[in-house]
Copies of this chain bind each other. A is one copy, B any other.
């Protein structure tokens, strides 16, 4: 069975808009390989290639891919099966005006460190340290409801979520706001810390195997407003906002809604229960909006779909 390939060379976007036009259209159930270029469009190939300021176009997202029959109110299910590294090195950089410690006198920006991939493909080198390769999709999302968001910004449509759980073995769920959903993804990292403090992980080109499905919104009890990710052992709501506190509130509310729907709790009991298991996690603290998730172990929550 051959997988259809959708490459960034065929098309990529730098903005999620409500009126995206499809690069490809596939049926629900499609198995695809999505090729992505690195978030800096190949501009950094050696340590002397530094990025002076955040580029106007960054985080190219391959797509958009329309799902046949997807309608507003439906849910798009993206099973992430494998992410393969597609070049011989990643790069991790500082950019003036960007990052958690931006403006600190001890931090040099711009600086570039190249992180070569080992011969066996298992690790990156940073100086003489070996970092395990664990690829993450940084930017993944769908056409938003009404506003437009560059691929530097995360919001309810997904976008630049920079969430380590967007990795092989996970299943991501997005609200469908527009006909066809219009999925796009890119900005992958060979490795990334929760928080993405300096503003990047080890940025790298990849090939991503996914299976896409449309879930009929009429068959779902909950009203999915924001992205959700299913890992081996947890369901995690994902929310982006101007502050971490505001993102925590949104992510916790979404977790409360899932717990209340499953267990028949009122909002207060679901809130109390949410304070006992799993909990809040940081995705990233650097993009113009910041992103948080609220994990609920699968022992206490089954699929809402």
Neighbouring B residues of A282 by C-beta, 8 Å:
248, 279-282, 292
User: Are A276 and B191 touching (Cβ within 8 A)?
Assistant: yes
The interface residues of chain A, by DSSP majority, are classed as: mixed
For this chain, the copies found in one complex come to 2
Q: Is A252 an interface residue (CB 8 A)?
A: yes
Neighbouring B residues of A92 by C-beta, 8 Å:
272-273, 275-276
User: Are A194 and B281 touching (Cβ within 8 A)?
Assistant: yes
Contact with A113, one of B104, B202, B245, B272 (Cβ below 8 angstroms): B272
What is the CA–CA distance of A108 and B270 in the complex, to the nearest angstrom?
Answer: 11
Name A268's closest neighbour in chain B (CB-CB): B108
What is the CA–CA distance of A222 and B249 in the complex, to the nearest angstrom?
Answer: 36
Tell me the smallest distance from the CB of A110 to a CB of chain B, in Å.
10
Stretch of A34-42, A70-78, A122-130, A144-152 at the chain-chain interface: A122-130
User: Are B101 and A252 touching (Cβ within 8 A)?
Assistant: yes
Contact with A193, one of B126, B279, B285 (Cβ below 8 angstroms): B279
CB-based closest 10 A-B pairs: A194-B279, A193-B279, A195-B280, A244-B244, A106-B267, A198-B275, A280-B282, A108-B268, A195-B279, A191-B276
User: Are B191 and A111 touching (Cβ within 8 A)?
Assistant: no
User: Are A101 and B276 touching (Cβ within 8 A)?
Assistant: no
User: Are A201 and B276 touching (Cβ within 8 A)?
Assistant: yes
Range for the number of chain A residues in contact with chain B: 35 or more
Tell me the smallest distance from the CB of A278 to a CB of chain B, in Å.
6
Binding site for B on A (CB under 8 A): 92-94, 99-101, 104, 106-109, 111, 113, 115, 124, 126-127, 129, 131-132, 164, 191-202, 243-245, 248-249, 252-253, 263, 265-269, 271-282, 285, 290, 292, 294-295, 299-300
User: Are A272 and B94 touching (Cβ within 8 A)?
Assistant: yes
Tell me the smallest distance from the CB of A264 to a CB of chain B, in Å.
9
User: Are A200 and B275 touching (Cβ within 8 A)?
Assistant: yes
